[in-house]
Structure 1
Amino acid sequence: MTSHITPVILSGGSGTRLWPMSRAAKPKQLLALTSTDSMLQLTARRSSDDTRFDRPLVVGNARHAEMIEEQLEAISLPAASLVLEPAGRNTAPAIALAALLTRPDAILLVMPSDHVINDVSAFRAAIETAVPLVEDGWLVTFGIAPTAPDTGYGYIRRGETLAPGIERVEKFVEKPDRATAEAYLAEGCYSWNGGIFLFRADAYLVELGRHAPEMLAAVRESLDKGVRQGQRVYPEEAAFKAAPSDSIDYAVMEKADRVAVVPVDMGWSDVGSWDALHEIAPRDEAGNAEHGEIVSIDTSNCLLRTDGPLVAAIGVKDLIVIATGDAVLIMPRGSSQDVKRAIEKLKASGHVTLDRSSL
């Protein structure tokens, strides 16, 4: 019998790199940035085949509960459980919540809620490649085919072939400098670390208990003391906050022995910046990606986006212009990682623009 897979969608991020549209009140994953669907809805649709996938389990921020439920119900894919974190503790505790709420032998497909995958068939084929090893207790990650020597991603060095299309992870590598990234691409045995995983719930919990026992104990206690209201699960706050904040990569994947990677070219992007959105967005003959009420004259290679006032761009090039009802961001293309400098200044001044919805 074919094993069903439980999608685990991680929706706790704040997405501040896409300010001013992404805010604490309505972060990136709840916005429609690349289609008429939100990023969360697109993620849920990737695992919507009920012959292979169960209903998703979503781990999110308690303040977004209603928006998450509304968006999933709008596409007829309501969550089997919506686990509402009382505080952000990074991905390892979030995944532990999901693993403890499912059957021990459940296969979990862990996906961030805010990534783009254009070739869903390639993604699903990669999942099928991984399933036999997962059923045997391996932890599997998906290695993204690198398209450039990008310094913004972690890398995975692939080792011996374990089965057709799947290799042992030799090591995880931190974000490299440019020269190192170029060397990785030239070597040909490195993939980007896209943060998507497939494993049995019990296999993950065994490794978490081995390498981060205090984290597992805190998460377990938070559920034991927590509350369930319909499909919503509320872990107890004090116990959950006692869990160390750590990513699955550091807490488990870099330390476990049986870790494999499926290299896959699936049109992936983490849409981690406005430059990344410009790169994947449809562009006109002048290289402009436009959304909303825009007038552009003698303008080229710009990202122009508004959900508020009309934006007129005349005689400019290589700019990012983002306008909402209460904020405007303007900067050169190639500088979008510097949005964090604006965020830091706004935080220092206690500016409310960071926290409220812009829509």
Structure 2
Amino acid sequence: MTTNEITPVILCGGSGTRLWPVSRKSFPKQFIDLIGEGSLFQQSSKRLAGEGFAPPIVVTNSDFRFIVTQQLHDAGIDPGAILIEPEARNTAPALLAAALVAAKDDPDQLMLAAPSDHYITKADRFCESVHRGVAAARAGQIVTFGITPDRPETGFGYLELGEGAAHGARPLKRFVEKPELAEAERMLAAGGYLWNAGIFMYSARTLIDAFANHQPEMRGQVQASVNEAQPDLGFLRLDPKSWAKCEDISVDFAIMEKVDNLSVVAHDGDWSDMGGWNAVHQHAERDAQGVALQGKAHAVDCKDTLLRSESGAVQLVGLGLQNIVAVAMQDAVLVADRSRTANLGDVVKQMRAAHVPQADNFPKDHRPWGFFETLILSKSFQVKRIVVNPGAALSLQSHKFRSEHWIVVVGTAKVTVGPDKDNLKVQLVHENESVYIPLGAIHRMENPGDTPMELIEVQTGSYLGEDDIVRYEDVYARGQGAKG
């Protein structure tokens, strides 16, 4: 790292319920190939890579840590520190923790805090906007990047610009909460207002000082959590006891609305926070009737409609639809008026209250070694498709309530199985061969090959939950339970 490089801080712990059913708690929107090339997280990471940028600091949670590393690897990006939040506490503690970690090497290091789920089509223009704010940030300002509005938008907060300019940035007069339509129209006509993108640049020292002045209690709590953080397989786990004391609050409310050293740089390129299906429709390729098709979808006599199929086995057909969003998945289907999609977060809450599993979980479950998806689930048996990455291995484990039968369909599996750890047998199971894992047996599955290995697993037993796992050895150090 050089003193002239900017360290991106990428936040990727949100759940994105307004893009249900594609985005869910177990695999939220930032990791999905929603629009453009790669996931939103990968697009954000690439946008903030290369000349002028240091390796990013990523702040995420335990469940997503291996997804983060895999997606960064696939995008060709070598990360800096990856901080693991013990629990969600919003953006204020997360950004302070990243600043404290960076300040250990260089208190004057410039940092660019950015969400992982924004969509920006012209990365070079955005980087130009970022570099326009460097002088102000080096002068001790907290620089926020506002988006030049092109319509009276009621879904975003606004920034009202002050008079004058210093170091290439305008002073911020005030934050404006999400307005009613009439107020949004007035601000657009008046000029001097930008959409609040929630992107900030500052030196580590500047942000830490701001917390010391305006959130001294949180400053001490996060410092203690960083001081007691534990390395874990290349990640840095923040201390949970100190972290749990932090207030759950955004950096806007905790700091930005209180400081007097906040400046604004305007970005006039294409930008979206991808906050819902209307945003996807707006940025997707549309025909002359305003119809956007994604996946195996077909439209007849439709207008201003988005049709998206997430399953290669599901053909979605729209006939005579207008202003509709229809999204089909293997286990859930959304059909909604486009004007109502902003209410999807409330719908997900209702499904959670009714214990609907599709509210948060997918049939496809991503793990550090690959993924599995449930094909059939009944009271006493379950059928899964399991895909193991090249060179990857599941934990050495046993189950108290189920037995398993594995049939290899692609590649070769290296299988370890036995009644106890002192009597384990290792065998290679090739395509069209199978192996039986009795209830209580200690076992492990590995992929010794250089291409993904696939198998079909048939489970039978009195309980089939993912928490019926006793781990004895695990290269991913997940501990006990479903994911650890």
Q: Say whether the fold is shared (TM-score over 0.5).
A: yes
1:323/1:329 contact within 8 Å kept: yes
Which amino acid in 1 is paired with 2:172? V
Q: What amino acid is the match of 1:319?
A: I
Once structures 1 and 2 are overlaid, which stretch shifts more, 158-167 or 24-33? 158-167
Matches within 5 A, 1:197-216: 197-216=200-219
Structure of higher RCO (CA pairs closer than 8 Å, 6+ residues apart): 1
For each residue in 1:24-76, what CA deviation from the matched residue of structure 2 results, as whole angstroms up to 9, or x when unmatched? Answer: 11000000111230000000011111x31111110012101111110000111
- Residue in structure 2 matching 1:126, options 105, 129, 150: 129
Instruction: Give the conservation status (yes or no) of the 8 Å contact 1:21–1:358.
Output: no
Q: What corresponds to 2:37 in structure 1?
A: 36
Which one-letter code corresponds to 2:291 in the other structure? N
Give the alignment partner of residue 115 of structure 1, picking from 100, 118, 133. Answer: 118
> C-alpha separation between the residues in 2 aligned to 1:110 and 1:218?
21
Counterpart position of 1:315 = 320
- Counterpart in 1 of 2:294? 291
CA distance in 2, matches of 1:198, 1:358: 39
Measured after TM superposition, the shift of residue 141 of structure 1 is 0.2
1:322-333 alignment runs, 5 A limit: 322-333=327-338
Shift of 1:230: 4.2
8 Å CA contact 1:20–1:358 kept in 2: the answer is no
Q: Which moved more, 1:169-178 or 1:158-167?
A: 158-167
Equivalent residue, structure 1, for 2:465 = none
Q: Matched residues in 2 for 1:57 and 1:253: separation?
A: 21
| Residue identity in the other structure for 2:333 | V
The equivalent position to 1:152 in structure 2, one of 143, 155, 177, is: 155
* Correspondence for 2:183: 180
The CA distance in 1 between the partners of 2:166 and 2:131, in whole Å, is 12
Does 1:350 pair with 2:355? yes
Structure 1 counterpart SS, 2:163: strand
1:140, 1:261 within 8 Å by CA — same for their partners in 2? yes
* More displaced 10-residue stretch of structure 1: 67-76 or 218-227: 218-227
Question: In the alignment, residue 133 of structure 1 is paired with which amino acid?
Answer: A
The one-letter amino acid of 2:345's match is K
Where does residue 269 of structure 1 map in the other structure? 272
Which secondary structure state, in structure 1, belongs to the residue aligned with residue 335 of structure 2?
strand
The structural deviation recorded for 1:164 is 6.9
Compared CA separation, residues 328 and 242, structure 1 to 2 (3 A): same
How far the C-alpha of 1:356 sits from its partner, in A, is 1.4
The structure whose residues are more often strand, as a share, is 2
Return the offset for 1:163: 3.4
Q: Secondary structure at the match of 1:101?
A: helix
- Pairwise CA distance, 1:358: 5.2
CA drift of 1:95 comes to 0.3
Is residue 15 from structure 1 mapped to residue 20 from structure 2 by the alignment? no
Match of 1:340 in 2: 345
- Letter matched to residue 68 of structure 1: V
Whichever of the two has the greater Rg, that structure is: 2
SS of the residue 1:357 aligns to: coil
Report the identity percentage: 36
- TM-score scaled to structure 1, two decimals? 0.97
Q: Residue 222 in 1 paired to residue 229 in 2?
A: no
Q: 2:241 aligns with which of 217, 235, 238?
A: 238
SS of match in other structure, 2:83:
strand
SS at match of 2:339: coil
Counterpart AA for 1:87: E
Secondary structure class of the residue paired with 2:133: helix
Partner of 2:91: 91
Shift of 1:286: 2.6
User: What amino acid maps onto 1:185 in structure 2?
Assistant: L
Q: Which residue of 1 aligns with 2:108?
A: 105
2:153 aligned with 1:135, yes or no? no
* CA deviation vs aligned residue, 1:137-193 (integer Å, no higher than 9, x gap): 110000111121111111111012223752000111111111111111121011110
Bigger helix share: 1
Separation of aligned partners in 2, 1:233 and 1:15:
25
Q: Residue 163 of structure 1 aligns to a residue in which SS?
A: coil
> Normalising by structure 2, what TM-score?
0.72
In angstroms, what is the RMSD of aligned CA positions? 1.4
CA contact (8 A) 2:136 2:167 kept: no
Segment of structure 1 superposing worse, 262-271 or 306-315: 306-315
Deviation digits for residues 192-211 of structure 1, max 9, x if unmatched? 10001110011001001110
Q: How far apart, CA to CA, are the structure 1 residues paired with 2:253 and 2:157?
A: 12
Residues 161/231 of structure 1: CA separation in 2 closer, same or farther (3 Å cut): farther
CA drift of 1:323 comes to: 1.2
Q: Where do 5+ consecutive residues of structure 2 fail to align?
A: 365-484
Distance (Å, rounded) in 2 between the aligned partners of 1:159 and 1:358: 51
Q: Secondary structure at the match of 1:77?
A: coil
Deviations 1:255-301 (A, max 9, x none): 11111000111201001010111011111233211111112222222
- SS of the residue corresponding to residue 334 of structure 1 reads helix
Aligned length: 358
> Which amino acid in structure 2 is aligned with residue 322 of structure 1?
V
State the one-letter code of the partner of 2:173: E
Q: Which residue is equivalent to 1:66? A: 66
Measured in 1, the distance between the counterparts of 2:303 and 2:116 equals 31
CA separation of 1:244 and 1:250: change in aligned 2, threshold 3 A: same
CA-CA distance at 1:357 after TM superposition: 2.6
CA displacement 1:87-142 (0-9 Å, x = unmatched): 11111111011101102111001110000111222211111111111111110000
